[in-house]
Amino acid sequence: MRLRRVLFLCNANSARSLMGEALLRHLAGDRFEAFSAGSEPDRPHEITLATLSKLGIDTQGLASKSLGDFAGEHFDSVIVLCDKAQQACRDWQGSSDEYLYWDIRDPRLIERWDAYEQALAEIRHRLLLWLEIQERDDIER
């Protein structure tokens, strides 16, 4: 069985999209290949990595990448996690069968101690719902 390819996008690829990539690998790495990128990549934020690790989610190999690194590639799904990345998607030289837009607030801009945990919980919630739909679609095929 071919693993379906999923690309998570946000602006800096330092928090939200890395969380999406790591979560999908953690929850369904046997069915999906997960990637992430940013329209203006920075580097993985240390609190992002700590938050994932605290919940037992592997962070090995997570690195910030540019959306341009995936030019010419095809993904089964692209999940965009912020408005800025949505704008960059329009000019991206890649393709996807499905584009989803989940506008998750950037935890780097929220001055609360649990901002990263909240962002991760919201991404996890949406990802679990999306995975249920994927499973149902697989059964119907």
- pLDDT, one tens digit per residue, over 94-121 is 889 999 999 899 998 898 889 999 999 9
Give the pLDDT band of residue 125 (cuts 50, 70, 90): very high
What's the whole-number mean pLDDT along residues 123-133? 96
* Among 115, 117, 94, residue whose Cα is nearest residue 106: 115
pLDDT value of position 89 = 67
Higher pLDDT among residues 140 and 57, named by residue = 57
Q: How many CA atoms within 13 Å lie on the side-chain side of 66? A: 6
- Residue 127 clears pLDDT 90, i.e. is over it: yes
* Among 25, 135, 30, 130, residue whose Cα is nearest residue 79: 130
Q: Alpha carbon of 139 to those of 12, 38, 112: distances in Å?
A: 36, 33, 42
pLDDT digits (tens, 9 = 90+) for 51-90: 999 999 999 999 999 999 999 999 999 999 987 767 766 6
pLDDT digits (tens, 9 = 90+) for 2-26: 899 999 999 899 999 999 999 999 9
Q: Is 72 helix (H, G, I), strand (E, B) or coil?
A: coil
What's the whole-number mean pLDDT along residues 42-51? 95
* Sheet of 4-10, strand order: 32-38, 4-10, 74-80, 95-101
- Domain definitions of the chain by residue range: 4-140
Fold classification of 4-140 (topology level): Rossmann fold (3.40.50)
